[in-house]
Structure 1
Amino acid sequence: MTNGSSGDPGTPAQPKRGRAASKAEFRAQVQATRADLERQVQARKAQLDATNERIEARTGRNLILAILIGLGFGLLMLFSLIFVKELFMVVVVAAAGFAALELTQAFRGAGRLVPRVPTVVAAVVIVPASYYLHSGGQLVALSGGILLVWVWRLIEEAARPQKVGGAQLLRDLGSGALVQLYVALLASFAVLLLAEDGGEWWVLAFIVLVVAVDTGAYVSGLSFGKHPMAPTISPKKTWEGFAGAALVAMVAGVLLAIFMIGEDWWFGIVFGLVVLLTATVGDLAESLIKRDLGIKDMSSWLPGHGGFLDRLDSILPSAAAAYALFLIFG
């Protein structure tokens, strides 16, 4: 009787302890799974960071940020070109203004006193003048812009208590003219082309071709690059990268010629090779300017890219080349 009464209270305790053990085991499994997932995420992040660091050390830019910013600008330009041509003109105005300001700041950092306000104003005005008044408006705006920058600088010099030497003043005036010729004039060719009938497709085609050339050179140089192309100007640019860019340029040129601008396949090869040369020369020219000024990037406004001019260096001369090809073949 005693044994029976003492065993009755113990019978429901066994299932309770079993359920508690099951819950504890389940929580332990969940925690172990969570810890394993966190370790995997950290490992993947570490691998991605290491890969990005190697690419950045090789190419000098943050690949992920560069891709994201590039996609954003690409979508903006695509929308503006396809739907509202005037909106693309606004994009060019902004790009030219920021690029002109960057180059002006770089010159001033090197001791060349290029005035900021008239330089940016002149670079902005030439864009709508070229779009609405065509080549005549482009020439007038360019001449007036250079004159405005020069007069502004001479007035500044006259008001300075301590004058600079004649050689320094000539360098300042020459640098001010260079900003207008290099940034404003070349950018205005894009809107000259845009203003033509069907010109938006030519603009889109040459921009896509420049991106294809840049991507081909980037991937090919990163994978196979061993022989520097211009080590004193741009050490990261290689002949292997140039060869890869040439192949991509011809293929992309043919496809764009046939399917976007309605030209023959052979024109696509000409188109691709011309843009390959102008994009490469533009890249090297900007690298030469930066090396002369002792800077790595024109600015840090575009993470992963540097500055606006660092992204426009290949596009600017290619815009002039595309406009010339349009006048000849289009």
Structure 2
Amino acid sequence: MSGGGRRGEIRAHLDSTRAQLEATNAKIEEKAGRNLFLAIGVGLLLAAVFLGSLLFLESLFACFIALLVAVAVVELATAFRVAGRRVPRIGVALGGLSMVASAYFYGAEGLLLSLFAASALLTIWRLIEGVLARTPVEPRTLVRDIFSGLFTLVYVPFLGSFAILLRAAPNGEWWVFALVLIAVSVDIGAYAAGVTLGKHKMTPRISPNKTWEGFAGAAVASMVAGVVIALSALDQPWWIGLVFGVLVLLTATGGDLTESLIKRDLNVKDMSNWIPGHGGLLDRLDSLLPSTVVAYGLALILGVLS
């Protein structure tokens, strides 16, 4: 066979392989709702930044959380505004950052007080905007906008700041690491089992891609991860790891479904397209935000936060 014929065969083989890979990736993306390979690459990059900030300096971790909070609250406020609810983006960003700073410097009491202060700031901000608007704003519209802004403050910076409170505890970096590890295990277990075995829809009206098989995979992955991390890093018995895994399984799944409900209410597919392969930042934090409270509560019950 001539050299040109061999090159033609090799090129045809490569084209066939590429077409098969693209077809396989398209099927996975259609079933799972995202680009698998791109999502993994971006996820690894985010994980590296997270671990670097978590394990080296507590102040660096607080800055990392502050950055996530600032981006996420602006993202959610923008989604609300697209849906016709005017949430002051600068107001929620300032309020969110003040809550993160209060949690870092003054602990749980500071976080709670800053929530009230940020809520008052946001309410006054929106009322002033309404008064100064060129066209009259109906009271019902103002109330709706204010409550959307208050929800933003509670959902993102208040819940997210519990990670700072947990990090401040003795051995706190490993508790935060355990929380994220279990939450990621939930996501991976649900993804793997859902893509390969998923047939029975879990909540078709809320999240069409979720299946009971995926939930079962998430349950197995979260409990295994919980037991392993409890024994290896948290100095806790295996059954505490099992409880930790089950609690995060429930809160992570609930957080994911809650964000799906929010997106359906706002009529958006993703909160934004800032993170390639993942959608918006909140699309990645939805399972972690409520789980931080559970992890903090478990550590509090066990006397870790002394």
Task: Check whether TM > 0.5.
Answer: yes
Q: Which residue of structure 2 lines up, in the alignment, with residue 216 of structure 1?
A: 189
In the alignment, the residues of structure 2 paired with residue 274 and residue 125 of structure 1 have an alpha-carbon distance, to the nearest angstrom, of 29
Name the SS of the counterpart of 2:210 in structure 1: strand
Q: Which residue of structure 1 lines up, in the alignment, with residue 294 of structure 2?
A: 321
Once the two structures are superposed, residues 227-273 of structure 1 have per-residue CA deviations (whole angstroms, 9 ceiling, x without a partner) of 11111111111111111111111111100100011110010110000
Q: Which residue of structure 2 lines up, in the alignment, with residue 53 of structure 1?
A: 26
Q: Does 2:98 match 1:125?
A: yes
Q: Counterpart of 2:295 in structure 1: which amino acid?
A: A
- Counterparts of 1:127-142 in structure 2 under 5 Å? 127-142=100-115
Name the SS of the counterpart of 1:297 in structure 2: coil
Q: Counterpart of 2:284 in structure 1: which amino acid?
A: R
- Counterparts of 1:174-323 in structure 2 under 5 Å? 174-323=147-296
Name the SS of the counterpart of 2:114 in structure 1: helix
What percentage of aligned pairs have identical amino acids?
48
> Which TM-score applies when normalising by structure 1?
0.89
> Which TM-score applies when normalising by structure 2?
0.96
- Counterparts of 1:165-180 in structure 2 under 5 Å? 165-180=138-153
Name the SS of the counterpart of 1:229 in structure 2: strand
Name the SS of the counterpart of 2:234 in structure 1: coil
When the two structures are aligned, how many residues end up with a matched partner? 303
Query: Whose radius of gyration is greater, 1 or 2?
Result: 1
In the alignment, the residues of structure 2 paired with residue 259 and residue 81 of structure 1 have an alpha-carbon distance, to the nearest angstrom, of 18
Name the SS of the counterpart of 1:237 in structure 2: strand
Q: Counterpart of 2:24 in structure 1: which amino acid?
A: T
In the alignment, the residues of structure 1 paired with residue 295 and residue 10 of structure 2 have an alpha-carbon distance, to the nearest angstrom, of 52
Name the SS of the counterpart of 1:236 in structure 2: strand
Superposed CA RMSD in Å reads 1.3
Q: Does 2:37 match 1:64?
A: yes
Q: Which residue of structure 1 lines up, in the alignment, with residue 51 of structure 2?
A: 78
Q: Does 2:64 match 1:91?
A: yes
Q: Does 2:17 match 1:44?
A: yes
Cα distance, 1:35 vs structure 2: 3.4
User: Runs of 4+ in structure 1 displaced over 3 angstroms?
Assistant: 31-37
In the alignment, the residues of structure 1 paired with residue 15 and residue 290 of structure 2 have an alpha-carbon distance, to the nearest angstrom, of 44
In the alignment, the residues of structure 2 paired with residue 310 and residue 133 of structure 1 have an alpha-carbon distance, to the nearest angstrom, of 29
Name the SS of the counterpart of 2:161 in structure 1: helix
Once the two structures are superposed, residues 72-91 of structure 1 have per-residue CA deviations (whole angstroms, 9 ceiling, x without a partner) of 01111112212222222222
Once the two structures are superposed, residues 94-115 of structure 1 have per-residue CA deviations (whole angstroms, 9 ceiling, x without a partner) of 1111111111011101111111
Q: Does 2:86 match 1:113?
A: yes
Name the SS of the counterpart of 2:196 in structure 1: helix
Q: Which residue of structure 2 lines up, in the alignment, with residue 4 of structure 1?
A: none
In the alignment, the residues of structure 2 paired with residue 38 and residue 204 of structure 1 have an alpha-carbon distance, to the nearest angstrom, of 46
Once the two structures are superposed, residues 117-159 of structure 1 have per-residue CA deviations (whole angstroms, 9 ceiling, x without a partner) of 1111111221121012101110122111111111111110010
Q: Counterpart of 2:275 in structure 1: which amino acid?
A: L
